Every structure is written in structure tokens, then in C-alpha cells.
Structure 1
């Protein structure tokens, strides 16, 4: 295949070739290809090897690995978005295909919009009846799980008749809690700590910022490695489609796989209810940059894990009942992480980060986090965290207008709803320490008079929502904490 070249528009098929896991090294291999091109090998490394499982858990590891293979393929598929998808060596059921099509279509919504592509009706995962085969995995005593080995066929997906009957594995009560270095995950970590929930702070990739923030929690940590196929970067130089993917979906699949490996029963993210709302684009409709942080993904993925992987594996967002403003209010209650957290996405890139400054001060995340925290903490504290007063800088007008959805749409970033930004600025306009700042004064004089005063009240946005997957007993204990 040395003479194969990447020609984006000539590619006809994307192939899921095989996946496997070496329990002695903790390395999972996810293998893909376009047409008859070279294999694209992605690796995920879970520290803690060697792993040992009984038969039931080994079968669940295979199911979680296969799901990870299928979801993580989105990073490669997007390079050419061919019309045909092939899954080699195994079949998937209709429920799996439905889950994957939803993740790929909605999770690539911003990617499609920015590249002028219409993916509706194009993404179709083939559904085939499971072939009769044994449910063994890997050679006995090898410590290797191979989800597509011809010598040892993997368990076939559960049939439609069997859906909802994935076995319980007897997983121990322990939470893998995703940390991204920002305020949201720290609110979750502290809430679980207060409720004496055993947890391991978990992140994927080599970010120094996240590692330092995780270490500051003082809790056990788990750093999972992920290495993309190196050819992807060559493909980008050769004209591949590029853009945003549903990263949280991929990370959720990685952490679910890790949870089964480690024998723990909870995978916890910190996505608030605001994540379910996208950007309203005139002539296009809603495009949600953070779709895989939203409720539609959480509910579908969490249900799927319990029906197809392990009945006692719980996936949920601890902050789903809260708005972004409600999360900011919780974060402001402690200054423990003021010098350690960062919500500036310009610090986090696939090819590295720039940890010398935790806040750039000009991106949508910096804008929104500054605005969301402002009503709930002293001005001097907030300015000290970010390094300057972003609301007293006329050069930032366009950025804040986008947050307000004033003459622009919500940015393609993980930021709150426009109504939250409007309510935050309305609250600041009533406070002597803020109301003279240039952007607060402009809002009060030019924008607020055009809006319904009742819609600018901040209190209704702090109310808790009932739509979530938090275990009932834990939610009863957290409800009082999050209401204050």
C-alpha cells in the first residue's frame, strides 16, 4: 500500500478494521482504514496493568472496547466522510447503529456547517444479524482481548430481544470523575468529596494544566493516554476535511472502557443543562458545538451502557440539573482552586498547550466564565483570577455581544445560553462596583431597554431541573447543597 495516496473526494468507504486490548500493558488498539489504504492505528492506554478478569467481566471489557472503537472512529471518519461505512469482523444491532448515527450526525454538526457539508442521510451504520459464534475472548492465559480475532470471535452484540439484559458485574462503588481543568469538574469533585463518595480524578491526554489541577484536589488520579493515528496529520496537509468532533462522546467511551477494566460502577462528567442548547444560525437552524455534552447524548449513551455493556455501570453528569450560572455560584463558594483552574480553551490543543498563562482573556470561554462568575464573587477576586477586568475593555464588545446573542449567534464554544449572559449583565448593572465598567454600562443603556425586564432576572436561572441520571440516593443528598 506504499503507493496509496489520500484523495479526499475519491474515497468511497471508511472501514472499522479491528480492535484489541492487551491486559498486560493496558494498551487498546483501535484500527481503521479508508478503502484499501493503510491501517490507521489509534491507541488508548489505561494505567494499572496487568488486568485480570473473570469470564463475565472479560466479556464486558470486549463490549466496552467495541463501543469505544466505533465511537472513536469519528476522528478518522471526518477526514473524508465517505458514503459507505464498513464494520469488519462483527455485526452490530439496530440499537447500536442508532446510537452511532446520532453521535456522528449531531456530534459533527458544527464540522458539517463550517465545511458546507450536509451529512443528513449520509451516515449509515450497517446492521447485520449476529453470526453464530462462541463468546470467548482471546487465548486462555494470554491476557489479550481481541474484539475481532478470527481465531477467537468476539461476543456478538446483544440482539433486539436481548436488549436491556446486559449482566450486572458486581462493580464496586467508586466514581471515575472526568476533570478538564475548569470550574465545572471541580464543583463535581468537591460535591462528591462532601458526600464521602470514593472517586478517582480522571483525564485523557498529556495536559500539564489538567494534571496540576488534578493533583491539587489531593485525590487519587488516573491519566489515560490517547494517541491518534499519525497519518491523520498528513491527511490534513493533503486536504482532509477538518473541524470539531464530539470529543466528550469519545472521552465518555474511553472512561466507560476504563471503568469496566478497573471494576468500578460510575463514570461521572460535569455537563450542565445549558450544554443542551446550541447556536441558532439564520437559515440553518440549531448547531450545537457541545452536543455530546448535552442531555440527548447523556441519556442515550447512559442507557446504552446499561443495556449493552453492564447493568450496574452508571454514566451521568453530576451538574445536569444546574445552569451555567448555578454552577458558577457553586464554584464561587471556595477559593481553593483560584490559582489552579482554567476554562480557557486556547490552552488546550491536540498538539500541545501553552501553560504559561491560564487565561488568554479574549476567547469566548474566558469571556463567559468571567461573566458567569462576576455576580457571585468579589470583583477583586475575579480580576485576580483572570488577570484583568474583561468587562471594562471596549475591544471585547463583539465577543460579549455574541454571548448575549445580540446581533450575533452564540459562539461555537462551551458557553452558557444567551439568557444567562443577559441575566448576569443585568445583575451587574445594579451593582456599584460593576455598573461603571464600559460593557456593563453599554448593556444597561443600549441593550437592556430592548429586552423584557422579567426575562433578565437571574433567580429563575438558578433553579434546579429534574432531568438527570444522577443516582436517586445521591441526588437527594446533593439537592440541598446545589439549591443554596
Structure 2
């Protein structure tokens, strides 16, 4: 029985809100962002600004935006909600995010071959992801799924010509996976990323289309999870 209380749920949902915000912020690139749903300390503020800056590198490049890491946005919080660390009973299973590519197959086959208890996880299930887990021997009933929708207002703004482009989707998946693992009582989250994710995708720059799949992001993500108030949710992140 892996019940979750309101405080834990608010904690995890707040983190998802912070990563979802990127998709909405990029429509106008407001120079000032004020977070009212919760509080962040200065170290956390800097962590999020780094993710926004690096995760939107291709977006800035393609839209001709000459952003500077130090002052491309001001991020502050005046929310009163603070989040505490929490622990919970957990199984030594593995939650495996599945997108339908070869990386997902590598992770699933490696863990299943090692006789590990595995639960596939798919965000907005599609044919490719379902076929992937099926080829490894899982049924659709074995899959933990989450449905995500985008606010129609943002889609309308995009159609009107507001700024649009690539966002760090894998970072979003990382935070949603935390919530999924907590709800399922699963200790470990395992995934595979290709080594090319650590290389710039625009020659002569530091722009990396796959920044949120890079080792730098994974290491930073583990640090972030361990420090603020999510400790013990992420038991192990492997690549």
C-alpha cells in the first residue's frame, strides 16, 4: 500500500510545475518570473535557471535570441509553501521510462535479462512505446501511464506567431517519473541515453538539442533531488 499524503503530492507536483513552466515561458521570454506556488532557495533558483538556459539552447539559436546565462531572466519566489524531505516504503523494482526508441529497448532487455522486477512507464502512450514494451514481453496492463495535455491557450498563441521551439522534454519526463515512481512505490528509475547526448548539436557552439539527456543534466538532476525535499524518492538513476 503506497499511499501519498497531500504534502508529498504538492512537493512533487510543484517540481513538475517548474519544468512545465518552460513551455509557457518561451512563448514571450518574459525577463521576470515570479513563483508563487512554492518557495525556492537561491541554490535551487540557480539550478532552474541553468536548466532553462541550457535546455532552451536550440530554441534561442533558432529564434535568433542572444541570451546570456547570467541575465536572460530573473527568477524569484514569494510563495509561502515550503517542502520537507519524506521517506516511504518502497519496493526494489525499476521504473523504466519508455519512448519507443532503441534506448528504451536496451534498458528493458538489460533489466529483464538480469531478472529484475520492471515496470514500464509511458507518458502519453503511443503505438511505438506500446510496441516496444510488448516486444520485451510486457502487456499493456503492465504499463504505468500518465496523460499530459498542453493548455489550448498556448497552442493558440503559437498559431498566432508567438515564439515556439524545442524544450528539454527529457527533463520533464524525469520529474514526472519521480511522481510515477512515488505513486507506485518503486525505488529505482532506470533509463539509457546515447553518448552523443553529451555533444553540441550546433557546430562551434555549446548548443545541445539533447541537453536534458546529457550526463551533466543527469548528475545535476540527482543532486537536485537529493538536496531540497525529494530525498529517497529517486533511489537509483542508471544510464
Work out the CA distance in 2 between the residues paired with 1:309 and 1:236. Answer: 34
1:146 maps to: none
1:203 maps to: 122
Where relative contact order (Cα < 8 A, 6+ residues apart) is larger, the structure is: 2
2:44 corresponds to 1:122: no
2:61 corresponds to 1:113: yes
Work out the CA distance in 2 between the residues paired with 1:182 and 1:280. Answer: 23
2:193 corresponds to 1:304: no
2:156 maps to: 234
TM-aligned CA deviation for residue 280 of structure 1: 4.5
Work out the CA distance in 2 between the residues paired with 1:255 and 1:112. Answer: 27
Matched position secondary structure for 1:92: coil
- 8 Å CA contact 1:175–1:200 kept in 2: the answer is yes
TM-aligned CA deviation for residue 170 of structure 1: 3.0
- 8 Å CA contact 1:92–1:157 kept in 2: the answer is no
TM-aligned CA deviation for residue 293 of structure 1: 0.1
1:52 maps to: 3
Equivalent of residue 215 in structure 2, options 290, 295, 320: 295
- 8 Å CA contact 1:94–1:127 kept in 2: the answer is no
CA deviation digits over 1:196-239, x for unaligned, max 9?
21111111113222222222222321221111111121101111
1:78 maps to: 26
TM-aligned CA deviation for residue 80 of structure 1: 0.8
1:402 maps to: none
Equivalent of residue 277 in structure 1, options 168, 183, 199: 199
- 8 Å CA contact 2:95–2:119 kept in 1: the answer is yes
TM-score (norm 2): 0.89
Q: How is 1:10-159 mapped onto 2 (pairs within 5 angstroms)?
A: 52-53=3-4, 55=5, 58-120=6-68, 121-127=71-77, 131=80, 154=81, 156-157=82-83
Q: CA RMSD in A?
A: 2.1
CA deviation digits over 1:237-264, x for unaligned, max 9?
1111011100000111111111112221
Segments of 5+ residues of structure 2 without an aligned counterpart are: none
Work out the CA distance in 2 between the residues paired with 1:267 and 1:178. Answer: 8
Work out the CA distance in 2 between the residues paired with 1:310 and 1:170. Answer: 13
Work out the CA distance in 2 between the residues paired with 1:254 and 1:203. Answer: 10
* Residues 1:124 and 1:296: Cα distance change in structure 2 (over 3 Å): farther
- 8 Å CA contact 2:98–2:104 kept in 1: the answer is yes
Work out the CA distance in 2 between the residues paired with 1:60 and 1:215. Answer: 33
2:113 maps to: 194
Work out the CA distance in 2 between the residues paired with 1:223 and 1:127. Answer: 32
Divergent runs of 4+, >6 A: none
Work out the CA distance in 2 between the residues paired with 1:228 and 1:182. Answer: 23
TM-score (norm 1): 0.46
